[in-house]
Structure 1
Amino acid sequence: MARTSPADGTPADGTTTREPPRTARGARTRARLVTAARRVFERDGYLDARLADITTEAGTAAGSFYTYFTSKEEIFAAVLEEVKEEMLHPHVRDVSRTDDPVAVIAAGNRAYLESYARNAQLMRLLEQVAAIDDRFADMRWQRGRAFTERNARSIRALQERGLADPEVDADLAATALSMMVSRTAYNTYVLGDARDLDTLTATLTRLWVNALGIPERVSAARSRA
């Protein structure tokens, strides 16, 4: 399976990509193609999507596609990259010394679930394509690793502040808890195991805080105060 270089993101298997456009007009055209590609992929699926359909949807000349992308695989990766950025960076701040950690975890879980619901069709396609293309299997792995690393940092910060069990392995806990949330989101929004957002958020948050021993430590800190 291919692994990407952490320095520049270039696939280790030698796959080439176009350089980002250097003009504002070029950036707008590329963005229009990515937006159009998302609509076509969601409508037709990955295998049946055609480059001609993408350029028609974008209102660009067929030949202009290759100014910005080398292939259908590359533009699909660009669509997924935009989705990853949205899902990885919800508008939830880190836990400060005065924040209620349970409320912050709940806000993060809710933001992730809402983002997953908006992007469920693409998440379904990523699972399908990753099963037949190692490049996208690698992308899925990298995406999951990014989420896990972010959550591990948050867990370590809580441990340093005395708000989470210091004996819990932050990296392993982040892996397990991140997989729990992501798989629950997949079952709910892709497989159709319908659940109420409030119930999902409350349940996943309770599992998070119980696993990290947060409620007891927050209560003890409040008692001391």
Structure 2
Amino acid sequence: MVQHPRAADAQAPAASLPEEMSGAARTERARAMRARLLAAARDVFERDGFLDARVTDISAAAGVAHGSFYTYYRSKTDVFRALIAATMDELYASLGGAADGTQPGSQPLDPVDGIDRANRRFVAMYRENTALMALFEQVTTFDPEVRALRHAARERMVGRVRHSIERFQSAGLVAADLDTEYSAHALVAMVNGLVHYWLVLGGDFDQERLVHTMTRLWAQSLGLPAPR
């Protein structure tokens, strides 16, 4: 049964930043404090779990007064949502971004090399965020906004992969009649599901073997050559 947030974590009225500060200084201070609180919140969530984490612990870890927290976030749920939103965007961009065989400011990659690089980056980022991803799965079961964040991030990831398949089709590398939307959903589900099973649920996988297999399945499902 889901526990309700402690009274200390209830929404509180926000305080205002010092009036004598310039607009630019206030903006920079707010940005720095938000980042500081996010870093502290991550440490507390990963240490205590979402349900047992408290705003007082987050404030203490950030080295700020308890009331200062509420200048920037309404509750521990609010700061968790902000933390997850930033992490999910970065994580899912890693899989979709390089999968079309291109990189900003560089020569196009071989298509299969691009897929392999994207898979490796996704695995590396998931490893860096394993504890947070486990909490994310927990909170999606009872927080509609976190669940919506997950759905939106997943859709953006699928969109990037779909775009990469469409580019391959335009280049004559992939069959023109392949359903790009369903293919993108299937490929994202494969990689995300396997990596989650390995890192969060404790699956017994060898990293190099897993990445090579995912890249081979991805490439050959599109009719591209198998990785070397």
Range into which the TM-score falls when normalised by the shorter chain? 0.7 to 0.9
For the 8 Å contact 1:165–1:214, the answer to whether it is kept is: no
**Who is 1:76 aligned against?**
80
For residue 89 of structure 1, give the secondary structure of its aligned residue in structure 2: helix
Tell me, in whole angstroms, the C-alpha distance in 1 between the residues paired with 2:183 and 2:203. 25
**Who is 1:95 aligned against?**
101
For residue 202 of structure 1, give the secondary structure of its aligned residue in structure 2: helix
Q: Which amino acid aligns with 2:163?
A: R
Tell me, in whole angstroms, the C-alpha distance in 2 between the residues paired with 1:154 and 1:128. 31
1:10-25 correspondence to structure 2 within 5 Å: 22-25=26-29
Tell me, in whole angstroms, the C-alpha distance in 1 between the residues paired with 2:76 and 2:29. 22
Are residue 47 (structure 1) and residue 51 (structure 2) matched? Answer: yes
Tell me, in whole angstroms, the C-alpha distance in 2 between the residues paired with 1:188 and 1:152. 25
Which residue of 31, 36, 49 maps to 2:40?
36
Tell me, in whole angstroms, the C-alpha distance in 2 between the residues paired with 1:106 and 1:75. 34
Stretch moving more, 27-36 or 95-104:
95-104
Tell me, in whole angstroms, the C-alpha distance in 1 between the residues paired with 2:164 and 2:26. 36
**Who is 2:146 aligned against?**
136
How far residue 82 of structure 1 moved from its aligned partner, in angstroms, is 1.9
How far residue 140 of structure 1 moved from its aligned partner, in angstroms, is 1.4
What 5-or-longer segments of structure 1 have no aligned partner?
1-17, 219-225
Are residue 172 (structure 1) and residue 182 (structure 2) matched? Answer: yes
Are residue 63 (structure 1) and residue 73 (structure 2) matched? Answer: no
The alignment's TM-score, normalised by the length of structure 2, stands at: 0.81
Are residue 206 (structure 1) and residue 212 (structure 2) matched? Answer: no
Tell me, in whole angstroms, the C-alpha distance in 2 between the residues paired with 1:138 and 1:202. 32
How far residue 137 of structure 1 moved from its aligned partner, in angstroms, is 1.6
What 5-or-longer segments of structure 2 have no aligned partner?
1-13, 15-24
Tell me, in whole angstroms, the C-alpha distance in 2 between the residues paired with 1:194 and 1:137. 28
How far residue 156 of structure 1 moved from its aligned partner, in angstroms, is 0.6
1:80-159 correspondence to structure 2 within 5 Å: 80-90=84-94, 92=98, 94-96=100-102, 99-159=109-169
Tell me, in whole angstroms, the C-alpha distance in 1 between the residues paired with 2:157 and 2:80. 20
For the 8 Å contact 2:175–2:223, the answer to whether it is kept is: yes
For residue 193 of structure 1, give the secondary structure of its aligned residue in structure 2: coil
How far residue 22 of structure 1 moved from its aligned partner, in angstroms, is 4.9
Identity %: 39
For the 8 Å contact 1:34–1:75, the answer to whether it is kept is: yes
For residue 52 of structure 2, give the secondary structure of its aligned residue in structure 1: coil
For the 8 Å contact 2:88–2:150, the answer to whether it is kept is: no
Are residue 195 (structure 1) and residue 205 (structure 2) matched? Answer: yes
Stretch moving more, 131-140 or 202-211:
131-140
Tell me, in whole angstroms, the C-alpha distance in 2 between the residues paired with 1:22 and 1:111. 36
For residue 23 of structure 1, give the secondary structure of its aligned residue in structure 2: helix
Tell me, in whole angstroms, the C-alpha distance in 1 between the residues paired with 2:215 and 2:56. 45
* Number of matched pairs: 198
For the 8 Å contact 1:52–1:62, the answer to whether it is kept is: yes
Over residues 29-81 of structure 1, what are the superposed CA-to-partner deviations in whole Å (9 max), with x where a residue is unaligned? 11000000000000000010000000000001111111111111110011112
